[in-house]
Structure 1
Amino acid sequence: MENYKTNPQLFDEYSELLKALAHPVRLCIAKGLLDAGSSNVSNMQNCLDMPQSTISQHVSKLKSAGIIKGERNGLEIIYSVSNDKVKDIIKALF
């Protein structure tokens, strides 16, 4: 119970992460990236069977929330989960 009083910012941080993960597609993307280690949007598109633009919008939300990062590799961007707290959340869920 001490964390409630000593670190209210922790709850704010977790709340924002959970908001970003609350959409089924974003949760699926984060889980898939965690399982695979990394992926580009084209691979995500094949797995999710959704338009690239839809996946890109969700990837953008995850990036803005600090959940994933992208690294350029030639013409493509390879995404991976970069937040250890999110890794713990996903492991707990699944």
Structure 2
Amino acid sequence: MDQRAERYAETAEILKVLAHPVRLCIVNGLIENGECNVTYMQSCLGAPQSTVSQHLQKLKAAGIVEGRRSGLEIYYSITNEKVISLMKALFQ
């Protein structure tokens, strides 16, 4: 696969992961607020902790977010600049 095709495949995978309202909300919230923990996201989304955690795992597996442990809490942030640019283009 040439570089261009590889880039398209990579971008398509990112778009597939983002193609869910809860994940879009999580990513947009992290861009706006910086680091957040699951408890904060849960209260903003009005979703159960297990649901938020499942969506975060998909975002983490795709390389979109990363977690930083602080005691018992894990604080998540966006790690992919391409995703930040994409989200800003979608929701300006």
**Structures share a fold, TM > 0.5?**
yes
Do residues 45 (structure 1) and 42 (structure 2) align?
yes
> Following the alignment from structure 2 to structure 1, what is the Cα–Cα distance between the partners of residues 20 and 71?
30
Identify the residue that residue 82 of structure 2 maps to in structure 1: 85
User: How many positions carry a matched residue from both structures?
Assistant: 90
Shift of 1:32: 0.3
User: Which ranges in structure 2 are unaligned for 5 or more consecutive residues?
Assistant: none
Q: Which has the larger radius of gyration?
A: 1
- Describe how 1:1-94 pairs up with structure 2 within 5 A: 7-94=4-91
- Give the alignment's Cα RMSD to 1 decimal: 1.0
> Following the alignment from structure 2 to structure 1, what is the Cα–Cα distance between the partners of residues 72 and 3?
46
Q: What TM-score comes out, normalization by structure 1 length? A: 0.92
Q: What TM-score comes out, normalization by structure 2 length? A: 0.94
Shift of 1:6: 5.4
> Following the alignment from structure 2 to structure 1, what is the Cα–Cα distance between the partners of residues 78 and 36?
10
> Following the alignment from structure 1 to structure 2, what is the Cα–Cα distance between the partners of residues 81 and 56?
15
